[in-house]
Amino acid sequence: MTKKIGKRATIRDVAKAAGVSIKTVSRVFNDEPNVRDEIREKVRQVGQQLSYHPNVAARNLARRRSHLIGLFFENPSPAYVTELQMGALKRLRGTGYRLLIFPVEDRADIRGAMVSTVYASGLDGVIVTPPMCDDPVILEELLASHLPFVRVAGDTSVHGTGSVVIDDEAAAFDLAEYVLRLGHRRVAIVIGDETHRSARLRLMGFRRALQAAGIEPEPAMEIQGAFTFQSGLEAGRRLLHHANRPTAILASNDDMAAGVLQAAHELRIPVPQKLSIVGFDDTALAQMVWPQLTTIRQPIFEMAERAADILLKQIEKGVASETAKLSYDLVIRSSAGEAPTG
Amino acid sequence: MTKKIGKRATIRDVAKAAGVSIKTVSRVFNDEPNVRDEIREKVRQVGQQLSYHPNVAARNLARRRSHLIGLFFENPSPAYVTELQMGALKRLRGTGYRLLIFPVEDRADIRGAMVSTVYASGLDGVIVTPPMCDDPVILEELLASHLPFVRVAGDTSVHGTGSVVIDDEAAAFDLAEYVLRLGHRRVAIVIGDETHRSARLRLMGFRRALQAAGIEPEPAMEIQGAFTFQSGLEAGRRLLHHANRPTAILASNDDMAAGVLQAAHELRIPVPQKLSIVGFDDTALAQMVWPQLTTIRQPIFEMAERAADILLKQIEKGVASETAKLSYDLVIRSSAGEAPTG
DNA sequence: ATGAAAGCGCTAACAT
DNA sequence: ATGTTAGCGCTTTCAT
């Protein structure tokens, strides 16, 4: 009669069919008070019959909220990215907020386009990860826009921005110290993509540990990588072909550690008997290679979950973005052992 | 003057400031014709000044389109999931469509709730992956809703639904045949999650190859896995502790193959000298383990890309969902070798 | 407890 | 080439 065939039922169709006003229907579908149970029931029933679903766009327009969160990332490790997504999604579950993903291939593309992208997608807020989240241009743009945003592993010293971090420097120090305690004196590092703040911090922690142990820094023992398996493989080959090769190699993430491990296998160097290798992050990959990686567990899932939590508070309650520091753990497995004697 | 402070500029603000009608502003921001270059320029400029961004909700409401695509998946392999996402996103780039992710933990939760979720999120269409996309309940629900959807690796025999697939049975046959040609007569398989159609097809291909080679099927050589690394590890341990252990093991995906490989390492069984292991999918993991996996390359990225393409056609042009079959490749690396003699 | 009317900010259809 | 007028389907006052 009133409902046109082939079109989705609207709030008006339901109101008419149930013999109430649209406001009452609205109340029912938003679980608001001031509706008699009897009528509430009736409206629900009619809604069901007409298979009514509130129109999201209309609701968003009236409420001025899209319930859309964007996750921007630029990370070569699938395991890392998945953790990030699942963590954020865990916090979002049951809130009505949804997650949109924005993998960024080229940072240059996103510089100056971040805010437009957010507007164009109608996002209520964004979660940003390294290295973007420490890029001054992007950060400035975000700050100026007054859009709600949080960062995962972003520099906490930036004023007025929230970030969920671990102490990368201390973690790298602890990891290096562990290796040194095993008796290694010739230890190398494969540095992560240097535009990542964490890569720099990890390098600092490493250097501090060596210094504390009285070991002279040596440029040849610091190789630049890019957080990818491939870069780890190449770095490993270079280090292991070195005339006076290291007995231990620290990689700035697990993917690169797996690459170094593969280089060791290629050269038939037994791990950990002749060479110790350690990673960082404790992603799923750390347990999939052989021997399993000794590494630092960075709680990526929890960090993302926490970031989403902070963001939601910011969006819904206008609470200023807070910063949180989570703890890390040294996870001892079998890829690192005592330094070879002789 | 007219623009309230602290609020986002609307199309009206821009129109007033530029001395034109809102329709003209609309034309400019939608790159429609029939606006003098001079005015177009002026409007753009004013828009810039007021930092005007069209309101997405309003636009969606008027256009009856959200430009949101949902990707539903339930897959334990991070590498697989990432490929899927990146593939779909590649096709979506530049179209204005965005990708929302819906990892499904428990299929029971989504049964009967899929369509409501889609409505609640205002999606224009969805991409569904196994095993959900072959679940009769879910498929029926989707079909009845008339929502645009495509499936990746879904059963192509279902009438009226599009799906992008490879020939899993033939691929598994080829893979098994390759192994048999290396002289193996005692070969086992680790089956994937049996609710996945591809797991069943791969098993069939495997069996057909054995039969063609005149090898008797043996229940102990077919172990149930779940497509996870852990399940592969456990299956590997069982198979390798068998009194008369296999000389070759086919795993239904790379993650499980990596698990089997780890079991071999634990037991100090040299691969491929004493044991050959092959995977399926050729995800990034296949090259990260040692020795690198001989496997079937399933073009997940391209499949997702193609699926997105089909979906877009369906949404924008009402084209009926098509089905596409992509080709696979046997990728020979080092995890499989000649059968040990004696 | 319920409803009427006025937006929300845009696009579509139809003038001019 | 440009503008006017209705919607789009919902939520928000504000009455009653």
Q: What is the DSSP letter of B221?
A: G
Residues B266 and B184 grouped into a single domain: yes
Task: Find, among B128, B113, B145, B122, the residue nearest to B72 by Cα.
Answer: B128
Residues B197 and B282 grouped into a single domain: yes
Closest protein residue to C5 (Cα–C1'): A23
Alpha carbon A166 to chain centroid, angstroms: 12
Continuous segment of H or E residues that includes residue B295: strand B295-297
* CATH number (domain holding residue B132): 3.40.50.2300
What six digits make up the tokens of A323?
Answer: 């910063």
pTM value is: 0.94
Q: Does position A6 have pLDDT exceeding 80, yes or no?
A: no
Residues B213 and B95 grouped into a single domain: no
Residues B101 and B58 grouped into a single domain: no
What are the residues facing A128 on neighbouring strands?
A72, A151
Q: Note whether residue B2 is domain-resident.
A: no
Last residue of a domain, one of A63, A81, A97: A63
Using a CB–CB cutoff of 8 Å, tell me whether B284 touches chain A.
Answer: yes
Residues B100 and B247 grouped into a single domain: no
Decide if B288 and A289 are in contact by the 8 Å CB cutoff: yes
What is the model's pLDDT at position A342?
66
- Tell me what percent of the residues of chain B surpass a pLDDT of 90: 83
What positions of strand C are covered by protein, i.e. any atom < 7 Å from a CB? 1-5, 7-13
* CATH number (domain holding residue B52): 1.10.260.40
Which residues on chain A are in Cβ contact (under 8 Å) with B122?
A: 55-57, 60
Q: What is the mean pLDDT of residues B55-76?
A: 93
What is the model's pLDDT at position B106?
86
Which residues on chain B are in Cβ contact (under 8 Å) with A120?
A: 53, 56, 96
Which residues on chain A are in Cβ contact (under 8 Å) with B55?
A: 61, 122
Q: Does position A247 have pLDDT exceeding 90, yes or no?
A: yes
Protein B133 CA to nucleic acid D6 C1', in Å? Answer: 42
Q: What is the mean pLDDT of residues B239-267?
A: 97
Q: Does position A227 have pLDDT exceeding 60, yes or no?
A: yes
The nucleotide whose C1' lies nearest the CA of B11 is C9
What is the model's pLDDT at position A72?
97
What six digits make up the tokens of A145?
Answer: 């826009």
Range of the domain at A321: 68-166+299-327
3-state secondary structure of A48: helix
Q: Note whether residue A337 is domain-resident.
A: no
Task: State the smallest CA–CA distance between residue B67 and chain A in angstroms.
Answer: 9
pLDDT digits (tens, 9 = 90+) for A94-150: 999 999 999 998 888 899 899 999 999 999 999 999 999 989 999 999 999 889 999
Protein A125 CA to nucleic acid D14 C1', in Å? Answer: 32
Cβ-nearest to A61 among B61, B85, B265: B61
What is the model's pLDDT at position B1?
39
How far, in Å, CA of A259 to CA of A264, rounded?
A: 9
B57 CB below 7 A from strand D atoms? no
HSE-CB at A289 with a 13 A cutoff on CA atoms is: 34
Lowest mean pLDDT among A21-35, A262-276, B264-278: A21-35
Decide if B61 and A66 are in contact by the 8 Å CB cutoff: no
Task: Find, among A71, A300, A279, A90, the residue nearest to A175 by Cα.
Answer: A279
Residues A26 and A51 grouped into a single domain: yes
Banded model confidence at residue B249, pLDDT cuts 50, 70, 90? very high
Cβ-nearest to B82 among A53, A78, A119: A78
Q: Does position B342 have pLDDT exceeding 80, yes or no?
A: no
Q: Note whether residue A225 is domain-resident.
A: yes
Cβ-nearest to B288 among A56, A103, A258: A258
3-state secondary structure of A103: strand
- Give me chain A's average pLDDT, please: 93
What positions of strand D are covered by protein, i.e. any atom < 7 Å from a CB? 1-5, 7-13
What is the model's pLDDT at position A1?
38
Residues A188 and A290 grouped into a single domain: yes
**Burial A254-279, CB ≥16 within 10 A → b, else e:** bbbbbbbbbbbbeeebebbeebbbbb
What is the model's pLDDT at position B8?
84
Q: What is the mean pLDDT of residues B147-175?
A: 93
Count of CB contacts below 8 A, A vs B?
A: 112
Amino acid at site B213: A
Which residues, other chains included, contact B9 with Cβ-Cβ below 8 Å and sequence gap of 6+? B3, B47, B50, B51, B52
Q: Which residue of A has its CA nearest to B29?
A: A120
Q: What is the mean pLDDT of residues A12-23?
A: 92
Q: Does position B3 have pLDDT exceeding 60, yes or no?
A: no
What is the model's pLDDT at position B189?
98
Look at A247 and B109; give whichever has higher pLDDT. A247
Location of structure tokens 């990707």 = B71
Residues A147 and A237 grouped into a single domain: no
What is the model's pLDDT at position A3?
42
Banded model confidence at residue B321, pLDDT cuts 50, 70, 90? confident
How far, in Å, CA of B201 to CA of A279, rounded?
A: 38
What is the model's pLDDT at position B4?
45
How far, in Å, CA of A60 to CA of B67, rounded?
A: 14
What six digits make up the tokens of A26?
Answer: 């609205």
Decide if B122 and A291 are in contact by the 8 Å CB cutoff: no
Q: Which of B52, B60, B84, B97 to mutate to test the interface with A (most CBs of A within 10 A)?
A: B60
A56 CB below 7 A from strand D atoms? no
Task: State the smallest CA–CA distance between residue B88 and chain A in angstroms.
Answer: 11
Using a CB–CB cutoff of 8 Å, tell me whether B226 touches chain A.
Answer: no
Domain count, chain B: 3
Protein B283 CA to nucleic acid C12 C1', in Å? Answer: 48
Task: Find, among A188, A264, A261, A179, the residue nearest to A222 by Cα.
Answer: A188
Q: What is the mean pLDDT of residues B68-76?
A: 93
What is the model's pLDDT at position A75?
79
Alpha-helical regions (H) of chain A = 11-18, 22-29, 37-49, 56-63, 78-92, 107-110, 114-121, 136-145, 168-181, 197-212, 229-241, 254-266, 300-317
Chain A span 272-311 residues with beta carbon within 7 Å of strand D = none
Task: State the smallest CA–CA distance between residue A136 and chain B in angstroms.
Answer: 21
Q: Note whether residue A5 is domain-resident.
A: no
Which residues on chain B are in Cβ contact (under 8 Å) with A89?
A: 101, 103
Residues A141 and A181 grouped into a single domain: no
How far, in Å, CA of A25 to CA of A44, rounded?
A: 8
Q: Note whether residue B155 is domain-resident.
A: yes
> Please, are residues A325 and A292 in contact by the beta-carbon 8 Å criterion?
no
Protein A97 CA to nucleic acid D5 C1', in Å? Answer: 36
Protein A239 CA to nucleic acid C5 C1', in Å? Answer: 76
Using a CB–CB cutoff of 8 Å, tell me whether B195 touches chain A.
Answer: no
Q: Note whether residue B340 is domain-resident.
A: no
Task: State the smallest CA–CA distance between residue A83 and chain B in angstroms.
Answer: 9
Task: State the smallest CA–CA distance between residue A288 and chain B in angstroms.
Answer: 7
Banded model confidence at residue A284, pLDDT cuts 50, 70, 90? very high
What is the model's pLDDT at position A2?
41
Residues B27 and B97 grouped into a single domain: no
Which residues on chain B are in Cβ contact (under 8 Å) with A64?
A: 57
Cβ-nearest to B61 among A57, A258, A288: A57
Q: What is the DSSP string of B227-261?
A: SSHHHHHHHHHHHHHSTT--SEEEESSHHHHHHHH
Residues B184 and B263 grouped into a single domain: yes
Continuous segment of H or E residues that includes residue A72: strand A68-73
The nucleotide whose C1' lies nearest the CA of B65 is D8
Q: Does position B166 have pLDDT exceeding 60, yes or no?
A: yes
Please tell me chain A's helix, strand, coil percentages from 3-state DSSP, rounded to the nearest 5. Answer: 45, 15, 40
Residues B141 and B179 grouped into a single domain: no
Q: Which of B61, B124, B141, B293 to mutate to test the interface with A (most CBs of A within 10 A)?
A: B61
Q: What is the DSSP string of B112-176?
A: TTHHHHHHHHT-SEEEE-TTGGG-HHHHHHHHHHT--EEEES--TTSTT-EEEE--HHHHHHHHH
Task: State the smallest CA–CA distance between residue A180 and chain B in angstroms.
Answer: 27
Task: State the smallest CA–CA distance between residue A81 and chain B in angstroms.
Answer: 8
B20 CB below 7 A from strand D atoms? yes
pLDDT digits (tens, 9 = 90+) for B126-159: 999 999 998 999 999 999 988 999 999 998 888 7
Closest protein residue to C12 (Cα–C1'): B62
Which residues, other chains included, contact A36 with Cβ-Cβ below 8 Å and sequence gap of 6+? none
> Please, are residues B166 and B326 in contact by the beta-carbon 8 Å criterion?
yes
Q: Note whether residue A124 is domain-resident.
A: yes
